[in-house]
Chain A
Amino acid sequence: MRDCFFAGAALHTSLGRDIDAHLTALQFGPAAPGHATAKFAAREQVLPYKLLRDLPLLSIETRLYDVLYAVIREAIAAAGLNHNEQRRLGLFLGTSSFDIGVTEHRYREALLNNNNALAMDQSSTMGQVATQIRRRFDLRGPDYSFNTACTASANALIYADAMVRSGQLDHALVVGVETFNAITALGFHGLQLLTPTTMQPFSPERNGLILGEGCSALVLSHRPHDRNRFRLLGHGNLCDTHGMSAANPDGSTVSYVIEQALQRAALTPQDIVAVKTHGTASLSNDEAEAAGMRRVFTRMPPLTALKPYLGHTLGACGLNELLLFCAAADQGFLIATPGIGIGDDKLGVSLNQTPIDLPRGHFMLNYFGFGGNNTALIVSNQETP
């Protein structure tokens, strides 16, 4: 089995258009959300939202692809792929909403002229986004669009890594994308899961989540650029049948994927230097995740949560949060959430409050999604032998 390294990455979220901008923004702590307006029929609903930085909610027909193409182009360039290598890339897309924002926009426009306009008349296939990316970059490898809610791009990474390790591909492109759409925004609003303030996972003051936009791309390569590049060391994934919208609060299904990931990485809990929690700031997630980690870790490693910064970027959060975490770790620090997650006595976990030095090592990242999809990743930047 071959090694597989993170060879080039790019990230655009509410914090900035590139990774350096993200690292700069982290210095100021989590910011309050902005707003987005969901327009439907003759109504409007203003909702808290973390929109893409420097990309206003205009030109809906092209906005999704503008951000996708820019991020992918940057990641491929960072990986230093030549034309033939780019052409043979496999594409692994993770998203929960695909191009539904574009589809909504077209339908809304059509209804202005015709109350019987046909919804989804131009795009009803869920493979459309991948098709556009393939055409744009002339990608001729296989493509897979993962739609497993909040674990989608994390799962996309797992399979991209496996295909490179197994020798089926030399290079793989993993993409996570989530942009504003009214159905998702109003769906979460209807579930009463949104907070107007700041996400506060693992805090008694938790009050729900903020949705965020984000787009990220990562090129994986069997070719080591240097021996201390980040790589995926292990993973766990489980279809958790306890409930459609939350993991088992006793922590059993969360600990299952964490233990699976540790086993695949041939590590013990003591080997984990820090954990990026899923941290959605819903009571059910906080309870299940805290209980799951307590089952595995007798001594809890430092914990961080990135949704207070990025908002919940749903299907893209797997890759968005991984890249942000790795960028900070490459700079030698663990991201802090000052004033958030100071401690909930009932849960027995708390988040890192000030940036602490982070040595090279092995790190765990948790993701849990609607539809009972739980994923844990272990990545490492410890030098390979």
Chain B
Amino acid sequence: MSWQIYAAGDQQHAVVDSLPELKALTQATTGKAFRRIGRFIQLALIGASRCVQGQQLPTDTGVYFASGRGDLELTLEIMTQLYRDAQTPKPLNFVNTVSNAACFYLAQHFALQARSNFVCNRYFAFESVLQLATLDLTMGAVTSALVGSVDIATAPLNDHRQRLQQSRDTAMGEGSHWLWIGPMNAQRPRLGEILAAQHFADKEALVEWIKRCIDAQQCQFAAGQFLSSPELQHIRGAGGLNDEFDYRSERAYYDSQSGAVMSEFLRNPSKATQLLHINADEMGRYSVMWVAR
């Protein structure tokens, strides 16, 4: 079963000296002045609004939101205030620490009356929610899905690098990546098709699947951010994958970069009609997203 990509949108930027102000951009992108929300929710609203582009989503569109680290800025603020400054959590700050607060603002902004889920995964953040969204579509739980991931930077940047175990010269960034997907529908815009969003327990299972399902002549591949070079070489060789699509080498570091690959591929003029994105985790498990123009 494949799923149509009706729309895609992103907000991504490098963070150089200080964290970029997002309030004005949120208002400009959404057309609304949101009060009392932090940068995590702002970035979610910006990315999702760029995806939706003012279209009216069906009310039974589910929200599937992922992150590697969630609203790290707010969690750090509360933790340092409590333990260093002896200030207990402010009520509104505390309520906003629930990660699905971001889902609430998204559902409210897009006037949705369906399910929402906030899911965390260190290695496969975007892949995870794409799997859940396609599962819900398959089971008929929703008729369309707004699927996205957000990870933000925190100040000071060197502390942020240390937390993310990045070297002091790593360029740091933030990203918000969103897709609006659903069943094949000729009445809706068709940016592309999701052919698979699938998990593999090990390399052997992945390679066997690639050999069985992928035509390397028409399919580019992209390496996810946690796929090591030796693993990549092995899978390339075993699966006969030759044509690499690079969406990460110029990208500043943040978690959940996988969310960027589909819209980058669909925007990018290329002869290849399909893309296979392969990501890995520290245990040697794999997750793929397979998309067609």
User: Taking beta carbons and an 8 Å cutoff, which residues of A are in contact with B?
Assistant: 40-43, 45, 87-88, 96, 98, 100, 103-104, 107-108, 111, 115, 118-121, 124-128, 130-131, 134-135, 140-149, 155, 159, 162-163, 165-166, 168, 182-183, 186-191, 237-239, 241, 244-245, 256, 369-373
Nearest CB of B to A370, in Å:
5
Determine if A141 and B91 form an interchain contact, defined as CB atoms under 8 angstroms apart. no
Q: How far is the CA of A130 from the CA of B66 in the complex (A)?
A: 15
Chain B residues with Cβ below 8 Å from A373 are 100, 103, 116
Which B residue sits closest to A373, measured CB to CB? Answer: B100
Does B16 belong to the interface (CB within 8 Å)?
A: no
Knowing A147-B118, A187-B94, the reply to whether A369 touches B79 (Cβ < 8 A) is no
Q: Of B45-53, B68-76, B175-183, B258-266, which binds chain A?
A: B68-76
Chain B residues with Cβ below 8 Å from A370 are 95, 98, 100-101
Q: How far is the CA of A188 from the CA of B88 in the complex (A)?
A: 10
Does B135 belong to the interface (CB within 8 Å)?
A: yes
Q: How far is the CA of A190 from the CA of B139 in the complex (A)?
A: 41
A239 in complex: contacting residue of B63, B67, B85, B162, CB < 8 Å: B63
Determine if B255 and A371 form an interchain contact, defined as CB atoms under 8 angstroms apart. no
Q: How far is the CA of A143 from the CA of B125 in the complex (A)?
A: 10
Known: A127-B120, A127-B123. 4 other contacts (CB 8 A): A119-B83, A159-B132, A183-B97, A191-B94
User: Taking beta carbons and an 8 Å cutoff, which residues of B are in contact with A?
Assistant: 63, 67-70, 72, 75-76, 78-80, 82-86, 88-91, 94-101, 103-104, 107-108, 112-124, 128, 131-132, 135-136, 138-139, 141, 159, 162-164, 199, 201-202, 255, 282-283, 285, 287
Knowing A87-B201, A239-B63, A239-B115, the reply to whether A371 touches B86 (Cβ < 8 A) is no
Determine if B285 and A104 form an interchain contact, defined as CB atoms under 8 angstroms apart. no
Q: How far is the CA of A189 from the CA of B9 in the complex (A)?
A: 40
Q: How far is the CA of A168 from the CA of B143 in the complex (A)?
A: 20
B120 in complex: contacting residue of A141, A145, A155, A372, CB < 8 Å: A145
Chain A residues with Cβ below 8 Å from B121 are 127, 130, 143-145
Chain A residues with Cβ below 8 Å from B117 are 146, 148, 155, 159
Q: How far is the CA of A41 from the CA of B82 in the complex (A)?
A: 7
Can you list 10 A-B pairs with a CB-CB distance of less than 8 A?
A100-B75, A111-B83, A141-B201, A143-B128, A148-B103, A166-B138, A190-B94, A237-B116, A370-B101, A372-B107
Chain B residues with Cβ below 8 Å from A141 are 199, 201
Chain B residues with Cβ below 8 Å from A134 are 283
Q: How far is the CA of A108 from the CA of B83 in the complex (A)?
A: 6
Chain B residues with Cβ below 8 Å from A41 are 82-86
Determine if B100 and A149 form an interchain contact, defined as CB atoms under 8 angstroms apart. yes
Q: How far is the CA of A323 from the CA of B113 in the complex (A)?
A: 29
Chain A residues with Cβ below 8 Å from B114 are 238-239
Knowing A130-B121, A142-B131, A370-B95, the reply to whether A103 touches B100 (Cβ < 8 A) is no
Q: How far is the CA of A373 from the CA of B63 in the complex (A)?
A: 11
Which B residue sits closest to A235, measured CB to CB? Answer: B141
A144 in complex: contacting residue of B96, B119, B159, B201, CB < 8 Å: B119
Nearest CB of A to B20, in Å:
20
Q: How far is the CA of A144 from the CA of B89 in the complex (A)?
A: 28
Determine if B201 and A148 form an interchain contact, defined as CB atoms under 8 angstroms apart. no
Which B residue sits closest to A149, measured CB to CB? Answer: B98
Determine if A371 and B89 form an interchain contact, defined as CB atoms under 8 angstroms apart. no
Which of B119, B122, B163, B164 gathers most chain A CB within 10 Å? B119
Determine if A144 and B122 form an interchain contact, defined as CB atoms under 8 angstroms apart. no
Q: How far is the CA of A373 from the CA of B115 in the complex (A)?
A: 8
Nearest CB of A to B63, in Å:
6
Determine if A107 and B83 form an interchain contact, defined as CB atoms under 8 angstroms apart. yes
Chain B residues with Cβ below 8 Å from A118 are 159, 162-163
Q: How far is the CA of A370 from the CA of B85 in the complex (A)?
A: 27
Determine if B135 and A168 form an interchain contact, defined as CB atoms under 8 angstroms apart. yes
Chain B residues with Cβ below 8 Å from A130 are 120-122
Chain A residues with Cβ below 8 Å from B285 are 140, 142
Nearest CB of A to B4, in Å:
20
Chain B residues with Cβ below 8 Å from A163 are 135
Which A residue sits closest to B123, measured CB to CB? Answer: A127
Q: How far is the CA of A309 from the CA of B84 in the complex (A)?
A: 35
Knowing A104-B83, A135-B283, the reply to whether A120 touches B75 (Cβ < 8 A) is yes
Determine if B70 and A126 form an interchain contact, defined as CB atoms under 8 angstroms apart. yes
Determine if B82 and A183 form an interchain contact, defined as CB atoms under 8 angstroms apart. yes
Nearest CB of B to A127, in Å:
3
Instruction: Pick the 10 closest A-B CB pairs, nearest first.
Output: A127-B122, A41-B86, A187-B94, A126-B120, A239-B116, A371-B100, A140-B201, A142-B199, A237-B115, A239-B107
Chain A residues with Cβ below 8 Å from B76 are 119-120
Chain B residues with Cβ below 8 Å from A104 are 79, 83
Q: How far is the CA of A120 from the CA of B73 in the complex (A)?
A: 11
Chain B residues with Cβ below 8 Å from A237 are 115-116
